[in-house]
Each structure stands twice: as C-alpha cells, then as structure tokens.
Copies of this chain bind each other. A is one copy, B any other.
Amino acid sequence: MNESQVSEFLASLPPKPGAVVRSGDFPVGVIGLDHGHIGGMCAGLRAAGADIVLVYDRDTKKAEDFAAKYGAKVAQSAEEVLGHPDIRMIASAIVPWERGSLGIAAMRHGKDYFVDKTPFTQFEQIAEARQVCRETGRRYFCYFSERLHTESGILAGYLIDTGVIGRVLAVEGFGPHRIGAPEQRPDWFWKKRESGGILCDIGSHQIEQFLYYTGAKSARVDHARIANYAHPDYPEFEDFGDAALTADNGATNYYRVDWFTTPGLSNWGDGRTLILGTGGHIELRKFVNLASNGSAPNGEMVLWADEDGEHSVCARGLVGAPFFGEMILDCLEHTERAMTQAHIFMAAELCVACEAQAQVVSGNGILPLYHPTV
C-alpha cells in the first residue's frame, strides 16, 4: 500500500459498531465474578444494547456492588439466574474449572452462554459442551479479549483481509502479564486444577488469534513447555509457558505467556502479535509501545511492512469492538457472524492440549544435559 491506499483502507473500514438491539431485547444474567474480565464483558454487552439484569456471586457484597454499578438485581442463587424466564444469555467469569459445567447448565436452561477465557480446563467438559450445543441449539461464546476487545487486534484482521501481506504463514504471540502483589490474588489463581494452568488460561488468547489470523480450522500442538521459575511458595503455579502449533493449512504458531511484567512497565504487559505473510509482516503493540516516551501512541499500534513500504496506525477509536453486537445477533438469529462455534471449541481444545502435553522445565536448571552427539 502506498500512503493513499492506506488512507483508502482506513476510510473503507466498517463503521464503529453501536447497539444492535433495544433495551429489553437482550437481558443478560451474570453468574460468577471471580475474574475482573466480567467488567469488560458486561461493558461490551451493554454497548451492543444488552441489559445486565440479574447477578449472582458466592460473595454477596461483590454481587451487590456489581448490581449497583449495572442497575441489576442480586439473585440468591445461581439457579435463580439460570431459571429466570426473561434472561437470554448467561455471562460468567467464574473460576476457570467451573466454566464448562456452568455453560452446560446454561445451555440446558435454554440460555446462550458467554464466558471469560479460558472457556474450559478439561477435555471432558468440551466434549459435553459440544454435545449440548448440538442438542439445544444454544451457543457457547468466549471472551478472547486480547483480540476481540482490542482495536489493534480487530484492525489486524481487516488488514490481513485486504491481502496486503499475502498468505499468512506464521503468527507469534507474546502475552506477558503482571502478577502484582501475591496476597491480592485469589486462592484459585495458584492452583493448577482450578486455573487450568498458564497455557490453558492466558494461552487461550494466543491460540484463538493464531486460528483466526491464519484462517485455520484446526491445528496440532507440536511442543509445549511450562515452568515455575520464581514462585516457589506456590508450587502448582506456572509463571512461564510457551508452545508451538502447526495448523491444518500449513501455518505455524509460537506463543509465550508469562507472569514477569516488571513494575516499571507502563501497563500490565507488553503484549505483541507478530504476523508473517508471504508479502509482508504485521506487528501489534497492543497495550504499550515500549519506551516510546510519548513519541507514539502507547498501545493499540498496528505496524506493518508491505511491498510499498512501512506503515504505522494507531487503531484506537477506529474500529470499536464488533464482536459483542455480532454475538448478540448470532444468538437471536442463529447465525455465526461473530465466530463459528467450531472455532471456539477448537481454540479451547488446543489450549487444554498444550497444557496436557507440556514438558516441565526446571526453574533450577537441573535438566538433563544435552548429550553432544559428537
């Protein structure tokens, strides 16, 4: 693209999405406030026209504060929300290992489901959810926020669709996170069975992006590693993980996730996505533009090189988050605008597979030495 073609591309973007339904058309009930992502999920739903009407959490105070913020009522039990006749969708950021069974219950109650990532922690849950989706016709959506709720992530998809970088060959994703004060983290955060492990939890974003940007329907996990380098007080915790996947269409992926963001970084993590095509490459600097010191926007940056040159666009304010409205319409009209159900389950299954296949790297360097072959 030359500069005028970049301008044309930006001018041709879909209009920023607004509400797709009127108030009252899409009442949402919330069960489980364990992860803060529920805020982003509900903000997205409301911007698309949904109403948050009822909330349940084991922590009543938390439920009350949430209800006050969203103008919702507090339910006395999860069953009250599941059984409410007006509610179309259940949204949840419950502890990861409870997400699958809650989604299955929601679908069996005739509701669509929208859950924080990671959508599942066990293969068996995925198998059952696939079956219940088929039986009930309800949907199981997941909040893969690092693509769906970043404008750089959305703009990258539009850019790939123009063909300007050719066929996508490889996607590398980096998802570093800040851990903050350990005592501020809930107990489940440190337990592998409950959190799903690092590759399953924060790795799920990376796998979804790989499948999406490469247009893959399926992939295999070639190799995965997990480690606990620096958190000996939490022996089940994984502070580092990475994996390599190969897609059915021949595209490759590598991703690394970790909990080592330093307090000095200006945001919670220097998340990046590198996309290599036959005709160019794209880099996303999602949350921070490292050490740019105000000389460039701090995050939501889409940079790319194509046959005509190098380009940089800040996506902030350009494209919004079309996912939420598309998801609501998919629920109402039985379409697959936002994403296919198969895509969601494949991303879910691969992140569980990464965790299941992962080699444990010893943080103390007591690996068996490589034996020189010569």
Contacts and interface: CB of A to CB of B under 8 A. Distances in A.
Interface in A242-278: 242, 244, 246-252, 254, 256, 258, 260-266, 270, 274, 276-278
Given A220-B370, A258-B276, A290-B283, A250 B365 contact: yes
Nearest to A240: B169
B264 A361 contact: no
Nearest to A251: B365
Nearest to A359: B222
A291 B305 contact: yes
A188 to B, nearest CB: 24
B373 A123 contact: yes
A307 interface: yes
In this complex, the member of A288, A311, A362, A365 whose beta carbon has the largest number of chain B beta carbons within 10 angstroms is A365
Nearest to A165: B262
A4 to B, nearest CB: 15
Contacts of A368: 220
Most buried by B among A227, A258, A288, A374: A374
A81 to B, nearest CB: 28
A260 B277 contact: yes
Interface in A349-374: 349-350, 353, 359, 361-370, 372-374
A264 to B, nearest CB: 5
**A interface, how many residues as a size bin?**
35 or more
A199 B273 CA distance: 22
B281 A270 contact: yes
Contacts of A158: none
Nearest to A125: B374
A216 to B, nearest CB: 9
Contact of A124 (B227, B274, B280, B374): B374
A144 to B, nearest CB: 19
12 contacts: A123-B373, A124-B374, A169-B229, A170-B242, A221-B370, A223-B244, A248-B365, A250-B365, A262-B280, A263-B307, A291-B310, A295-B295
Given A126-B374, A225-B244, A349-B372, 10 more contacts: A123-B374, A169-B227, A250-B363, A251-B365, A260-B279, A261-B305, A264-B280, A264-B310, A266-B309, A290-B303
